[in-house]
């Protein structure tokens, strides 16, 4: 055992479970790829101000959860706690919005970092797949992104995922609602930290998960009752398009999410089988974020889906994703000449796209066959001195036990035929 362990709140992905994470990531990204979203990758750390401006200085992410560092040159950096601000910054820096082909549609996958109380489903290092559509204000675009996310969960076979939907209004109608909510909240029995939020961002109080707070929020004014006509019409169009697409959703007037940049459409996917950490993804429209980080007006919408929690949901529902074996053929040589021959054949099989492993380390036949079984290989390729003298190698089907003698030059064609 090593002297060191993974830091608290983090995890190592190791075979065979790592194959499940890869399968989930692929399923999350696949619908976006089919809808014209191109891949983008951003640095693991950014200027602190990018997140304090974009995510919101009053959010828990910025005030409590960001990992920050100071470079030798004195720059203040932060490990990225979320993906949207970084992706938008990258698009602006590359002037992707100036090509006239809006919206700019991007998807991404990576690791993110928040200093949180570590527990199952809530990690300090976590993985997300995200998609952003930058530069267009269109309810069909909101509906498209929500539909793509819903499709990824469907493709994984998940049946316990629910979609919650809300509208947070815009700069025209939110100020009046903000004032009404503040008046209501100031009359409640709240702790000092929560009362401070009333002045900074009262919508965040609605997102407080404590039962003592939620009980007092009964009768609180809701944004849906204060939407201006433009926001109301926009939201109804999003709802109508989701219904047309056959995407079930639940209206949740208290849904605000944990980031300050959201406007209008806001949504969250939850899985009730995960306990308190039930959110498996979410997002919304962020029409003012570009201006917040120094860019032009670029109305945008996007989402991020949690790989870690979705894996937990797949396991909770007992879904078998039919993950393929990492090895199709396992080569077992007996003797130095056989090692040379099978090593060459292993390379030829890999070049032909057939996953092939090799009994390294001079293992005896018994131990080598045990390794072949553990690898999940469908076939073993065995050769010893007698086989070489006869100019053949032995191909064994590990399921049926059938063994076939083949000329070395016929091995690749035979396995291509059998494996497909």
255-295 pLDDT per residue, tens: 887 667 789 999 999 999 998 789 999 999 999 899 999 99
Give the model's pLDDT for residue 414.
Answer: 95
Q: Using 70 as the pLDDT threshold, list the residues of the chain that sit under it.
A: 56-61, 258-259
pLDDT recorded at residue 59: 66
For residue 317, what pLDDT is reported? 96
Query: Torsion over CA of 177, 183, 188 and 193, rounded to 10 degrees?
Result: 80
Residue 378 known to bind ligand: no
**How is residue 280 written in tokens?**
């498996």
Beta bridge partners of 406: 393
CA neighbor of 164 nearest in space, from 277, 267, 280, 279? 267
CA 232/CA 316 separation, integer angstroms: 37
Q: Which CATH number fits domain 329-419: 1.10.1470.10, 3.30.420.40, 3.40.50.800, 3.40.50.620?
A: 3.40.50.800
- Give the model's pLDDT for residue 368: 87
Q: Which pLDDT value is given to residue 259? A: 65
Is 262 marked within a binding site?
Answer: yes
> 261 a known binding residue?
yes
CATH number 3.30.930.10 given to 17-173+227-316:
yes
Are domains 17-173+227-316 and 329-419 of this chain identical in fold? no
**Bond before 229 cis per omega within 30 degrees:** no
315 is in an annotated binding site: no
Q: For residue 114, say whether it is annotated as part of any ligand binding site.
A: yes
**Annotation-wise, does 214 bind a ligand?**
no
Q: Is 344 annotated as belonging to a binding site?
A: no
197 is in an annotated binding site: no
pLDDT at 57: 63
Domain boundaries, the chain: 17-173+227-316, 329-419
Q: Is the pTM of this model over 0.95?
A: no
**Is 82 known to sit in a ligand binding site?**
yes
**Is residue 208 within 8 Å of 190, Cβ to Cβ?**
no
List pLDDT tens digits, range 299-326.
999 999 999 999 999 999 999 998 877 8
């Amino acid at each position: 055992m090593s002297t060191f362990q993974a830091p608290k709140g983090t995890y190592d992905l190791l075979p065979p479970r790592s194959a499940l994470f890869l399968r989930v990531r692929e399923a999350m990204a696949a619908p976006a790829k089919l809808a014209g979203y191109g891949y983008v990758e951003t640095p693991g750390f950014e200027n602190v101000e990018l997140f304090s401006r974009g995510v919101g200085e009053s959010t828990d992410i910025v005030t409590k959860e960001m990992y920050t560092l100071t470079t030798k040159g004195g720059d203040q950096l932060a490990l990225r706690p979320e993906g949207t601000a970084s992706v938008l910054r990258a698009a602006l820096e590359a002037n992707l919005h100036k090509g006239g082909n809006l919206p700019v549609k991007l998807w991404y996958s990576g690791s993110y970092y928040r200093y949180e109380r570590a527990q199952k489903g809530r990690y300090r290092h976590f993985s997300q797949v995200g998609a952003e559509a930058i530069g267009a204000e269109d309810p069909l675009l909101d509906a498209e992104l929500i539909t793509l996310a819903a499709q990824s969960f469907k493709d994984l076979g998940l049946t316990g995922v629910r979609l919650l939907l809300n509208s947070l209004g815009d700069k025209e109608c939110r100020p009046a609602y903000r004032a009404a909510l503040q008046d209501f909240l100031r009359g409640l029995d709240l702790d000092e930290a929560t009362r401070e939020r009333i002045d900074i961002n009262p919508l965040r109080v609605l997102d407080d998960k404590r039962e003592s707070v939620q009980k007092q929020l009964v009768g609180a004014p809701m944004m849906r009752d204060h939407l201006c006509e433009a926001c109301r019409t926009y939201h109804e169009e999003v709802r109508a398009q989701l219904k047309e697409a056959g995407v079930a959703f639940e209206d949740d007037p208290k849904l605000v999410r944990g980031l300050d940049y959201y406007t209008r459409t806001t949504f969250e996917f939850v899985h009730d089988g995960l306990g308190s950490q039930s959110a498996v993804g979410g997002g919304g429209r962020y029409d003012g974020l570009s201006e917040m980080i120094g860019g032009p007006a670029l109305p945008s919408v996007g989402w991020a889906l949690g790989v870690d929690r979705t894996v937990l949901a797949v396991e909770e529902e007992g879904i078998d994703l039919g993950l393929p074996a990492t090895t199709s053929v396992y080569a077992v040589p007996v003797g130095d000449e056989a090692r040379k021959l099978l090593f060459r054949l292993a390379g030829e099989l890999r070049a032909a796209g057939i996953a092939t492993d090799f009994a390294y380390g001079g293992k005896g036949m018994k131990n080598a066959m045990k390794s072949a079984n553990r690898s999940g290989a469908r076939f073993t390729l065995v050769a010893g001195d007698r086989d070489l003298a006869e100019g053949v190698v032995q191909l064994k089907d590990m399921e049926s036990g059938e063994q076939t003698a083949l000329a070395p030059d016929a091995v690749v064609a035979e396995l291509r035929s059998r494996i497909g």
